Structure 1
Amino acid sequence: MRELSGKIAVVTGAASGIGRALAVRFAAEGMTLMLADVDHGGLAETAALARDAKVLTQITDVSDAASVAHLANRCFGEFGAVHVLCNNAGVYQGGHMWTRDPEDFAWLLGVNLWGVLHGIHEFVPRMIEQDTEGHIVNTVSVAGLFTAPGSGGYTVSKHAALAASHALAQDLAAAGAKLRVTALCPGSVRTRIADSARVRPPGLVNIPTQDEVDSLDRVGRMAAVGIEPSEVADLVVEAIREERFLVLTDPKYAARLRLQTETLLTGNLPSYQ
């Protein structure tokens, strides 16, 4: 889809980070925006930054099917169409696989995987019916490609999000649809991902274990020296125009992915570095 001006974009997780950067970049392209998040204040700030565009905002918990259905119904009701869907909302929690409670996995999978699945279910059928060019961008993470110690729950959710993106792209191609898919796999980006606890549901009590604290500290330090979210947004716009499926934010990841595949084919465990 080469021309974005005049088109309609939906961005979840739009209150900060990559979601905010996507909203601002799409606004600069002349797009109309539907922005969603659970953070009311951050959402309002993003809307103000995208003031050159027509913007609607909606408090949306992407882990809840009814909440995403409400978002889709309002968007199609107000605008009549959607051309770009960014399933971007995501949360992080660290810790070893054996120290995470079922509730921790449920939260991570609810936002990082079910958020993508709910978006697909509610938006894609109507986007297909439009019979126009369109694009779905799923924010996966480099954790959907590589596995590191101390982030098992997050990695599980992101590997699944990559699989969902791949499966969606294959289904759309087999059906002859005009929609394309991008799996966005950013590495270190200057976002608040290490502070995901701020949006953890109030009833979901969590007493951090030391391995979780160590993981959060590591992720926070990596984010602090990462690239700007605006750079990721630029890559997304380029991917939409070029119909690129996989987007890596660091060229070194390609060589790392190749080495990981070669190592797996020998039957050995790949290095996480």
Structure 2
Amino acid sequence: MRELVGKVAVVTGAASGIGRALALRLAAEGMTLMLADVDHGGVAETAALAGDGKVLTQITDVSDAAAVAHLANRCFGELGAVHVLCNNAGVFQGGHMWTRGEEDFAWLLGVNLWGVLHAVHAFVPRMIEQDTEGHIVNTVSVAGLFAVSGSGGYALSKHAALAASQALAQDLATVGAKLRVTALCPGAVRTRIAESERVRPSVLAGSPTQDEVEALEQVGRAAAGGIEPSEVADLAVQAIREERFLVLSDPKYAARLRLQTETLLTGNLPSYQ
């Protein structure tokens, strides 16, 4: 998809971080935007930063199928089409697998996996019916490639999001659709990912454990030393134009992925030390 000017883009998780960077980058390309998030103030600020182009906002909990369906209905109803769909909303919680409760997995899977699945169901059929070029960008994270210690349910949800992205891309190719898919897998990025609890629903609240606290501290330090969200947004736009499926934010992840595959083929457990 080479031409973006005048087209319509949807970005979830647009209130901050990578989502805000995607919104600003796509606005700079001359796209009309629909920005969604649960953070009313944050998404309004992103809209203001996006400039003079047409920007709509919608408060949307992507873990809620009805909310995502409403978002899609509004997009197609008011904007007439959707050409780029960025399923970017995501939350983090770390800790050992055996200390994560059902409410933890429900929250992580609800946003990181079901958020993607709800959007696929609500948007993709109508994007196919448009019979125009289009692109779906799923923000997966390198956690979708490497399940490191302390990543808990986060890695589980992101591995599933990667599988969903690949299956979607294969399905679209099988039916000859003009849509393409990108699995965006950044590593450490300067975002508020370590502060995800700020948007956690009270009905899914849990009790912090020491291993969770340590994981959050580690992720916070990594994020502080990471790349700028704008660099990830640049990679996403490049992937849209080049129709690239897998996008890594650092070449070292390719080498790590090769090593992981080779290690798994020997029947051994990969080490990420």
TM-score, scaled relative to structure 1: 0.99
Q: Are 1:46 and 2:65 counterparts?
A: no
Q: Structure 2 CA distance, aligned partners of 1:188 and 1:111?
A: 19
Matches within 5 A, 1:25-174: 25-174=25-174
Give the structure 1 partner of residue 233 of structure 2: 233
**SS in structure 2 opposite 1:69?**
helix
Q: CA deviation at 1:53?
A: 1.7
Q: CA deviation at 1:98?
A: 0.3
- Measured against aligned partners, the alpha-carbon deviations of 1:114-152 in whole angstroms (never above 9, x if no partner) come to 000000000000000000000000000000000111112
How many residues are aligned here?
273
Q: 1:139 corresponds to which letter in structure 2?
A: T
Give the structure 1 partner of residue 253 of structure 2: 253
- Measured against aligned partners, the alpha-carbon deviations of 1:225-259 in whole angstroms (never above 9, x if no partner) come to 00000000000000000000000000100000000
**SS in structure 2 opposite 1:11?**
strand
Give the structure 2 partner of residue 271 of structure 1: 271
Give the structure 2 partner of residue 212 of structure 1: 212
Root-mean-square deviation (CA, aligned residues, Å) is 0.6
Alignment check: 8 A CA contact 2:185 2:249 kept: yes
Q: 1:257 corresponds to which letter in structure 2?
A: L
Alignment check: 8 A CA contact 1:165 1:182 kept: yes
**SS in structure 1 opposite 2:202?**
coil
Alignment check: 8 A CA contact 2:189 2:225 kept: yes
Give unmatched runs, 5+ long, in structure 2: none
Q: CA deviation at 1:204?
A: 2.3
Q: CA deviation at 1:19?
A: 0.3
Q: Structure 2 CA distance, aligned partners of 1:12 and 1:113?
A: 13
Q: Structure 1 CA distance, aligned partners of 2:31 and 2:145?
A: 31
**SS in structure 2 opposite 1:10?**
strand
Q: CA deviation at 1:51?
A: 1.9
**SS in structure 1 opposite 2:271?**
coil
The answer to which of 51-60 and 81-90 deviates more is: 51-60
Give the structure 2 partner of residue 17 of structure 1: 17
Alignment check: 8 A CA contact 2:108 2:153 kept: yes
Q: 1:155 corresponds to which letter in structure 2?
A: A
**SS in structure 2 opposite 1:24?**
helix
Alignment check: 8 A CA contact 1:2 1:240 kept: yes
Q: CA deviation at 1:50?
A: 0.3
Q: Structure 2 CA distance, aligned partners of 1:8 and 1:188?
A: 29
Q: CA deviation at 1:272?
A: 2.1
TM-score, scaled relative to structure 2: 0.99
Q: Structure 2 CA distance, aligned partners of 1:62 and 1:204?
A: 15
Q: 1:132 corresponds to which letter in structure 2?
A: T
Alignment check: 8 A CA contact 2:103 2:206 kept: no
Alignment check: 8 A CA contact 2:96 2:149 kept: yes
Q: Structure 2 CA distance, aligned partners of 1:211 and 1:117?
A: 30
Q: Structure 2 CA distance, aligned partners of 1:16 and 1:272?
A: 29
Q: Structure 1 CA distance, aligned partners of 2:64 and 2:184?
A: 22
Q: CA deviation at 1:44?
A: 0.5
Alignment check: 8 A CA contact 1:28 1:52 kept: no
Q: 2:226 corresponds to which letter in structure 1?
A: G
Alignment check: 8 A CA contact 1:147 1:272 kept: no
Q: Structure 2 CA distance, aligned partners of 1:238 and 1:151?
A: 29
